[in-house]
Amino acid sequence: MNSLTIELLEIPTILQVSITDDTLSTDLSDGRTLSVPLAWYPRLLHGSPEERQDYRLIASGSGVHWHQLDEDISVKNLILGKPSGESQTSFQRWLSNRMKRV
């Protein structure tokens, strides 16, 4: 049996990020725009519009970091279609601590 493996020889960088109520979109250096459901990233989904806009590109554009939401997303995982790998336990703890602050 043959199995398909995906090999990324040259990974593009993220140039720009935009977020709507239900979508995370990234413009890449190779001309593509990737859009994924915001539900893939529960911390972003539960963040305010202001918190979602408070991001910075990291590692020369190979990822995005949201300081207020303690979320990092790599361009590689976006390309491969991998949602957040955070456990429900970790996410619930984060959400509970967040609710205490509000």
- Here the CATH number for the domain that contains residue 41 is 3.30.2020.40
Six-digit token string for 36: 């994924």
Q: What is the pLDDT of residue 100?
A: 86
Among residues 21, 72, 67, the alpha carbon closest in space to that of 48 is found at 21
- For residue 37, what pLDDT is reported? 98
Cα–Cα distance, 52 to 38 (Å, whole number) = 11
Q: Which two tokens stand for residue 44?
A: 């972003």
State the pLDDT at residue 10. 85
For tokens 């279609």, the residue is 81
In a domain, 4, yes or no: no
Could you tell me which residues are beta bridge partners of residue 66?
A: 55, 71
Rounded Cα distance between 68 and 47, Å, is 9
Count of domains in the chain?
A: 1
- Residue-number span of the structural domain to which 80 is assigned: 14-101
- Ranges of the chain with pLDDT below 70: 1-8, 102
